[in-house]
A and B are shown apart, each in its own frame.
Chain A
Amino acid sequence: MHIVVAMRQLADLVEELEVNGDGTDIDRDFVKFVSNEWDEAALEEALTIKDESAASVTVVALDEPDVDQTLYAALAKGADRAVKLTGHDPSAWVRTRERAQRIASFLAHEEFDLVLTGVQAADDLDGQLAGILGSTLDIPHAAVVVGVELTGSSLRVAQELGGGLVGVSELELPAVLGVQAARQAPRYASITRIRQAMQTQKIEEQEVSLEVTTPQVTVRRLYPPEKQGGATMLTGSAKDVATEIVNILRSKGLV
């Protein structure tokens, strides 16, 4: 069983994000990049499968700021192999369709049974990776996966369908899954382990040369939403305030 985990870097949302000069992308020179949290869940699920059975885990990511950190951390946590794909501008925004094609061209000469990736990333304007990658490779896929069960060559997945409803289905292998949550919280790789991985393990680099032309949304402008101030104070009698609160709840479809 060979599991490939597709991971990626994303601007750290804790930081203040600023928009670049022409207003169509974030200013990438001044943000910190961290790994996408859902990809971490995908990695965790892959490693849990590896712990249970004799799977091997390959982590693949496009060259993006601080991606080495993420790949070494994955190796420190127990991934067998880490691959960095180059051949694009590492400092630019890679749209999801292009990302999928680059990963697909890496997978074209890999034997694999399962691809796991995060259900989404916060800049997925062009859609989420799992479905696009599945379609590009013409293999089945499922998103918002909260459970993966591999027995022999059969794959059962549980997907969260909203309102707590869970759909269980079977997919033929190979398949691509967009993971929402692993069975357990992502494990911790101590800094010492990561540093050890840096000294003892290598990140493979593979160049992918590809001209990508897909129809896509043209971003006109990127801008922060209008700020809402502090609390709007509701005043009046208890009855008035209660009515107002219930109206707010109603507008959200909650009561």
Chain B
Amino acid sequence: MAIAVLVVGERVAGESPDVTFELLGRGRELADALSGELAVVVVNDLDEGAQFGIADVLYVVDGMDSASYSAPQWEAAIGAVIQRVSPQVVLVSTGTVGIDLAGALATKFNAPLASYVIDVTAQGDKLVVTSQLYGGKLLSEGEIDAFPAFVSVLPGSLPVEKGRAQGSPRVEHIDAGDQLRLSKGRGTELREPDTSGVDITSAALLVSVGRGIGSKENLELVAELAEAMKAPLSASRPVIDQGWLPKPHQVGKSGKKVKPTVYLAFGISGAPEHLEGMRSAETIIACNTDPSAPIFEVAHYGTTLDLFDLVPELTDIVGG
């Protein structure tokens, strides 16, 4: 059987990212609809933790430096695989590796490319893709009828569990040595994230506290929760003003603007100056005893429970 869908495994170091399994899950459906096989390509060594059981074929590109990342090298390697297996659909993410690959390879193979995709299905001999454009203000529904087609999916858009199914794909090794030698770039190093300083602007989850916490001693309670959730603590200005937390933790007009995936707000009323810093968070969950607190107007989920009741429960569930 021919390869219908090729998923690019975008693991550079550590574990394979979730998005690869999102792509595999949807890739399976597309491959079935297109009556072909699902393949996944990984670079260099196998990710021991991931079996890619849902795929029919696992391509391993040998000969690449696994201690660094280089866009031209990846482009050469994945290009070589595509050349060799001629898939109908190539699935990547709209993340760094995916952005590096998709545009360049689509151009190289003179193939259509859809980016910022949050949904992709096969309908007859066409692909129907939904993309999130204009910062999510508008969705675009489009169709692709030329193959091979490149689809770049926004991480977090598709279910991830399905892609983790067990199984044992055939493993094929591909040597891209020739192409790699020709490529006009090489990786030099990977720098691990600096965890020393707090950077509330880059966290996916923020545990944020307001004056509702009452005192510095009480802050301990929320700090425990943050620790259990492995999320940084952030705060509204009064908490900073009191000296309960240092200035880099402040969210808002005169602090930092944050855009985490989830913003947990405890005892924050939602003054305009505070909202300015966090309203573009993807999901806002607010806990405030006052049902008319303005924070509930921007929050996606809210509760009027007392934070002193709720926080310990949360810590229990997450930590224990």
Contact = CB atoms under 8 A, between A and B. Distances in A.
Q: Do A and B touch (CB < 8 Å)?
A: yes
Interface of A: 11, 13, 17, 19, 26, 96-97, 100, 119-120, 122-132, 134-136, 139-144, 156, 158-172, 175, 178, 214-225, 228, 230-235, 238-239, 241-246, 248-249, 252-255
Contacts of A129: 103
B100 A141 contact: yes
25 contacts: A122-B133, A125-B140, A126-B114, A127-B103, A127-B106, A131-B100, A135-B104, A140-B183, A142-B71, A144-B96, A156-B188, A161-B13, A166-B190, A167-B187, A167-B190, A215-B111, A219-B142, A220-B143, A222-B140, A230-B299, A234-B301, A235-B303, A238-B310, A248-B283, A254-B231
Contact of A234 (B156, B195, B302, B318): B302
Given A124-B115, A168-B188, A220-B142, A17 B314 contact: no
Given A127-B152, A156-B188, A234-B303, A17 B137 contact: yes
B121 interface: no
A202 B174 CA distance: 53
A124 B154 CA distance: 13
Given A19-B138, A136-B107, A249-B262, A144 B99 contact: yes
B96 A143 contact: yes
Nearest to A178: B99
Contact of B133 (A123, A132, A230, A235): A123
A131 B116 CA distance: 15
B97 interface: yes
B68 A131 contact: no
A246 B188 contact: no
B1 interface: no
Contacts of A172: 184-185
Contacts of A97: 107
Given A169-B188, A222-B140, A231-B284, 5 more contacts: A26-B138, A131-B103, A132-B104, A217-B142, A245-B301
B309 interface: yes
Given A160-B96, A169-B69, A242-B310, A215 B110 contact: yes
B134 A141 contact: no
Interface in B151-165: 152, 156, 160
Please provide the 4 A-B residue pairs with the shortest distance between their CB atoms, ordered closest to farther: A164-B193, A131-B103, A167-B69, A242-B313
Interface string B294-320: 001111111111000110111011100
Contact of A215 (B18, B146, B194, B230): B146
Contacts of B213: none
B161 to A, nearest CB: 10
Contacts of B305: 238, 241
Contacts of B131: 125, 217
Given A135-B105, A141-B71, A159-B69, A170 B185 contact: yes
Contact of A168 (B99, B189, B230): B189
Q: Is the interface of B mostly helix, strand, loop or mixed?
A: mixed
B184 A139 contact: yes
Nearest to A180: B96
Contacts of B144: 215, 217-218
Contacts of A119: 99
B205 interface: yes
A75 to B, nearest CB: 28
A232 B303 CA distance: 9
B221 interface: no
Contacts of B264: 245
Contacts of B18: 253
A142 B139 contact: no
B254 interface: no
A246 B69 contact: no
B129 interface: yes
A124 B99 CA distance: 11
Contacts of B110: 214-215
B135 interface: yes
B229 to A, nearest CB: 6
Given A161-B97, A222-B133, A242-B310, A252 B283 contact: yes
Contact of A246 (B17, B129, B142, B314): B314
A98 B79 CA distance: 22
A126 B113 contact: yes
A130 B104 CA distance: 8
A141 B102 CA distance: 12
Contact of A13 (B134, B188, B283): B134
Contacts of A17: 134, 137-138
A119 B193 CA distance: 21
